[in-house]
Amino acid sequence: MKNKENELEMFSFDQIKDEFIGESGTAQRTIYEQELQMAILGNLIKKVRLDRNMTQEELGKLIGVQRAQISKLENNTTNVTVETILRVFSALNAKVNFKVEILDSIIKIAG
């Protein structure tokens, strides 16, 4: 029989994020989620570049930017355009797919 005094309370990762970062939908949580996605994207760019045995300078030359810009991309800069991301992955011979979800909206396109 377990002693109730020695039991640990369990929390889900979502509960921890809600408590310490903010609930889903709040500005603070949205910023956190966006920064996390940029960190993942930067790590992915670096991994693919290294898998292709390419330096930051070589990748930069392929897409027409300085090595420092590639370094910024890989190190979680938040100031990046979709166009730059597409150029990077194109230069790395990688296919990119974007998923766009528009919540609570109805979009009408005139035809």
Q: What CATH code is carried by the domain that includes residue 85?
A: 1.10.260.40
Q: For 47-104, write each residue's pLDDT tens digit.
A: 999 999 999 999 999 999 999 999 999 997 767 888 888 999 999 999 888 777 777 6
- pTM (2 decimals)? 0.71
**What CA–CA distance (Å, rounded) separates 77 from 5?**
46
Residue 3 located in a structural domain:
no
Residue 1 located in a structural domain:
no
Residue 25 located in a structural domain:
yes
- Number of domains present in the structure of the chain: 1
Residue 105 located in a structural domain:
no
**Residue 58, domain extent:** 12-91
CA distances from 18 to 9, 11, 39, 40, 76 (A): 16, 11, 20, 21, 23
